[in-house]
Amino acid sequence: MRITSNFDSGNIEVVSLESSSDIQLNISKDNESDFYQWFHFKIESTAGEEHKFRILNAAQASYPQGWQDYKTMASYDRETWFRIDTDYQDGELIFNHIPEFDHVFYAYFVPYSYERHLDLIHKSQLSPDTQLITLGQTLDGRDMSLLQIGQEVEGKKKVWITARQHPGESMAQWYVEGLLQRLFDHDDAVSRLLMDEAVFYIVPNMNPDGSARGHLRTNAVGSNLNREWLEPSLDKSPEVYYVREKMLETGVDMFLDIHGDEAIPYNFVAGCEGIKSYDARHQALEEAFKAAYAAVTPEFQDVHGYDKDEPGTALPTVGASWVGEQFKCLSYTVEMPFKDHNDAPDAFYGWNDVRSAKFGADVLTAVLAVVKKLR
């Protein structure tokens, strides 16, 4: 029996492998940080035998409430990921599994690899009116890549979308993949009309270093990028620094920042009601966007989510708040679950890569519903 995590976004530490009925594991912390919750590893063992896995340090993870009613994801072929029954007991995350094959992968959510990211952005540059722009380099020397889709013509709205500031929230990049696929589909009238009205600036992965390293929440040096937007630095948060510089150059008329939430079993958005400049116009835009999103898919709802910020109390270091204030524009954090979307639950797959991609494609209908009203 052997466990390895020596691959893209791998994360696990073996405590004891003495018996398949008591495999003891820990999740490693993000580098230079105390955050941890993302795990991703492979076991090579004997098919047909019962295996009991215990993640011993689950209770000290960043969001222990995320383990409540959570089901571990597993895959034999690294394409189809299914859920297995999981318990959170006495501070440990415990799952039993009788694998059908000798090699099995387990992960917190369907991984989205750096290689797939490279495929996505380079395939995208083949689409009409699309430019792949390198904004700079990360601390591990990876490219910070931006896709500009559409030509900058006077009067067109600037729609910015970023994903995966928190690298363990891999659903965010599946969302962007689905969104891009639809946006590039010339037979889709929503996309065609949108391209007449807007230029899209899309950063499919805001944190490629953290993603490849198997981090939950931070970049190579332990910075939580979604708290760096007020004063990013080239030493600590070049990812935000470069994207913010480009935003200041292009302007922003609408912003979506795509995330996953560990605890809440619903898709939802977090808005700008707490920023200083929030007003009736901004509120009306938010309401119109949410109504359109809810009308297009039951995967979106606006009942469950974060508590609303009191006026003036939004953290200005958060991406969506900084953008909303700086550009006085519609600006949302989109959150998807690690568990399931309880308005349309799926016991076998839960929330997954495919649903994230469809949800990302569907948002374009909601963007079209508001695009003419953005200014």
Residue numbers annotated as active site? 335
Q: How far is the CB of 325 from Zn ion (least distance, A)?
A: 19
Q: How far is the CB of 225 from Zn ion (least distance, A)?
A: 9
Judged by CB under 5 A, the number of residues near Zn ion is 3
Q: How far is the CB of 117 from Zn ion (least distance, A)?
A: 17
- Smaller CB separation from Zn ion, 91 or 316: 316
Interacting positions 50-109 with Zn ion (CB under 5 A) = none
Q: How far is the CB of 251 from Zn ion (least distance, A)?
A: 25
- Smaller CB separation from Zn ion, 169 or 299: 169
Interacting positions 329-368 with Zn ion (CB under 5 A) = none
Q: How far is the CB of 169 from Zn ion (least distance, A)?
A: 5
What CA–CA distances, in Å, run from 284 to 50, 119, 161, 272, 275? 55, 38, 21, 12, 15
What's the burial of 7, exposed, middle or buried (CB within 10 Å: 0-12/13-18/19+)? middle
- Token pair of 80, please? 């189809």
Q: How far is the CB of 246 from Zn ion (least distance, A)?
A: 21
Interacting positions 248-287 with Zn ion (CB under 5 A) = 259
Q: Tell me the per-residue interface mask from 171 to 200 with Zn ion, x by CB under 5 A, - otherwise.
A: ------------------------------
- Smaller CB separation from Zn ion, 45 or 333: 333
The residue range among 90-98, 141-149, 169-177, 320-328 that interacts with Zn ion, by the rule CB under 5 A, is 169-177
The residue range among 6-14, 36-44, 158-166, 230-238 that interacts with Zn ion, by the rule CB under 5 A, is 158-166
The residue range among 14-22, 136-144, 168-176, 234-242 that interacts with Zn ion, by the rule CB under 5 A, is 168-176
According to CB under 5 A, which one of 166, 215, 236, 355 is a site residue for Zn ion? Answer: 166
**Considering the rule CB under 5 A, would residue 215 count as an interface residue with Zn ion?**
no
Instruction: Return residues touching Zn ion (CB under 5 A).
Output: 166, 169, 259
